[in-house]
Amino acid sequence: MADFTKVTNESWFSRLGSAFKGIVVGLILIVASFVLLFWNEGRAVKREKALEEGGRKVIAVEAAKVDVGKEGQLVHLSGRAETKEVLADPVFGVGAAALKLERNVEVFQWQESVSSEQKKKLGGGMETKKAYSYSRDWSDHLIDSSRFEVQEGHANPKSLLYASEQWQAKKVNLGVFLMSPSLVSKINVSSPLTVGEGAMLPENLKATVKVAGPGFYVGASPENPEVGDTRVSFKSVAPLDVSVVSQQKGNSFIPYQAANGRKVELLQVGTHSAEEMFQKALDDNQTFTWALRVGGFILMVIGFNMVFKLASVLADVVPVVGNIIGVGTGFIAFLLSAALSLATIAIAWIIYRPLLGAALLFAAVVLIVWVARKLGGNEKDSVANGQ
């Protein structure tokens, strides 16, 4: 059940003003979607070509010795990433012989949930009913309670007692090789690190911090947390087997730079062949490319919907008519976005992939012509019905 409900009414003229402003924002979003879609295709092709070049040039080396004859070449090797360093949290004194040590801080805070319901009124006005609910939960970032609709009784802390941090070993060996910091940063398989009941807290923290569960707790009772209570936990990356593809430089590595200027540096946890690593990188590139394509398309749909919003607002003098117009403009926005997104990708492909680009552009033109005819046909039908 909502803690607070707020009802607001917006006049038809006010909605018209917002719709006009929305046209400007919509046009900006449409332009941004074109830029995103075009850039994404170039990025994808360049990344793919760099990986294909790397797949052709990579050679295998042994982690047990440095072959000076392979200096400057793109190499692949597998082995155990390990270090003799003991990473330590300078505040809490927690330490571990690990490749990485991570401190995670969470604060118990108020959180606001909002549900909204809109109802069009005869004459073009809009009634909006917003229901606000408040609950308390743990969060790894500060929640600004000054933005809450109901601030009284829902105040959150304005600063963190401690910040989340991460430490990385400076010297990590892979056989006789020294892994570069950029390679170590790619290792993201961590495990919880339990502090334990016998943890020795620094003297300055003993009065305020207690051991609770796997980490530390600042507050009266971990079982009954209050707003502002803080809990601290740790994760570490222990020595583990990894596979690396990078350019050999002395007894270490640097990213390999392909002919097109793109850098290639791969790491996977576990033992993997060079072919498997490059295939995964290509698959990841494809997945990321499609994610950005969908994102660009959605951005364009939102933009066109904002541009067309004025038509439905004008028709909302009679809400039923406005709803029909809204559905129609939404469908048109979808079709236009599909056609123009396809055309943008096709134009980018003509530059980067000429044969595929020409075929895709032809498909986009066919779709655009079909949409135009449909719109033209609907307009003629409307005129005929009016006569």
Output the pTM of the full model: 0.84
Q: Tens of pLDDT along 1-32?
A: 568 999 999 998 999 999 999 999 999 999 99
**pLDDT mean over 316-326:** 89
Is 181's pLDDT higher than 90? yes
Instruction: Place 198 in a pLDDT band, splitting at 50, 70 and 90.
Output: low
Encode pLDDT of 238-271 as tens digits: 999 999 999 999 999 999 999 999 999 999 999 9
Written as one letter, the residue type at 284 is D
Name the least confident of 201-205, 269-273, 353-357: 353-357
Neighbours of 79 (CB within 10 A): 19
What was the pLDDT predicted at 168?
Answer: 97
Please name which of 102, 93, 111 lies closest in space to residue 150, comparing C-alpha atoms. 111
Q: What is the DSSP letter of 179?
A: P
Q: State the Cα–Cα distance between residues 306 and 289, nearest whole angstrom.
A: 26
Torsion of CA 113, 119, 124, 125, to 10 degrees: -50
Cβ atoms of 133 and 113 within 8 Å: the answer is yes
- Report the range of poorest mean pLDDT among 281-285, 296-300, 326-330, 366-370: 366-370
Between CA 322 and CA 379 the distance in angstroms is: 17
Q: Looking at residue 376, what is its pLDDT?
A: 64
Q: How far apart are CA 24 and CA 294, in angstroms?
A: 23
Nearest alpha carbon to residue 301 among 334, 345, 341:
334
What are the beta bridge partners of residue 100? Answer: 168, 237
Is the pLDDT assigned to residue 366 strictly greater than 70? yes
pLDDT tens by residue, 28-51 = 999 999 999 999 999 999 999 999
Q: Which tens digit of pLDDT belongs to each residue from 212-246?
A: 989 999 999 999 999 999 999 999 999 999 999 99
Q: Please indicate whether residue 268 or residue 356 has the higher confidence score (pLDDT).
A: 268
Residue 387 predicted with pLDDT over 50 = no
* pLDDT tens profile 166-179: 999 999 999 999 99
pLDDT over 90 for what percent of the chain?
77
Report the pLDDT value the prediction gives residue 196, as an integer from 0 to 100: 74
Q: Which two tokens stand for residue 175?
A: 């056989």
Report residue 86: phi and psi, to 5°. -110, 110
The pLDDT of residue 378 is 55
pLDDT at residue 356, rounded to an integer: 63
DSSP state at residue 180: P
Contact 253, 177 (CB under 8 A): yes
**Residue 337: predicted pLDDT:** 93
pLDDT value at residue 383: 44
pLDDT: which is higher, 359 or 209: 209
Q: Could you give the CA distance from residue 102 to residue 93 in angstroms, rounded to a whole number?
A: 13
85-128: per-residue pLDDT in tens? 999 999 998 999 999 999 999 999 999 999 999 999 988 899 99
Where does residue 153 fall: left (phi above 0), alpha (psi -120 to 50 degrees), or beta otherwise? left
Please answer whether residues 110 and 136 qualify as being in contact, where contact means their C-beta atoms are separated by less than 8 angstroms: yes
Of 79, 114, 141, nearest in space to 8 by CA = 114
The confidence band for 65, taking pLDDT boundaries of 50, 70 and 90, is very high
At residue 235, the pLDDT reads 96
**Bigger pLDDT: 197 vs 347:** 347
Task: Write the CB contacts of 147 (distance below 8 Å, at least 6 apart in sequence).
Answer: 112
CA gap 214, 234 in Å, rounded: 8
Cβ proximity of 29 and 309 under 8 Å: no
Helix (H), strand (E) counts: the chain: 5, 19
Q: Where do the DSSP E strands lie in 140-185?
A: 165-168, 173-174, 177-178
Q: Comparing C-alpha atoms, which of 70, 50, 49 is closest to residue 60?
A: 70
What contacts 296, CB < 8 A, 6 or more positions away? 33, 36, 37, 40, 341, 344
Confidence of residue 374 (pLDDT cuts 50, 70, 90): low
Contacts with 339 (C-beta within 8 Å, 6 or more apart), sequence order: 364, 367, 368, 371
Please state the domain extents for the chain: 12-51+285-386, 58-272
Residue 352 has what pLDDT? 76
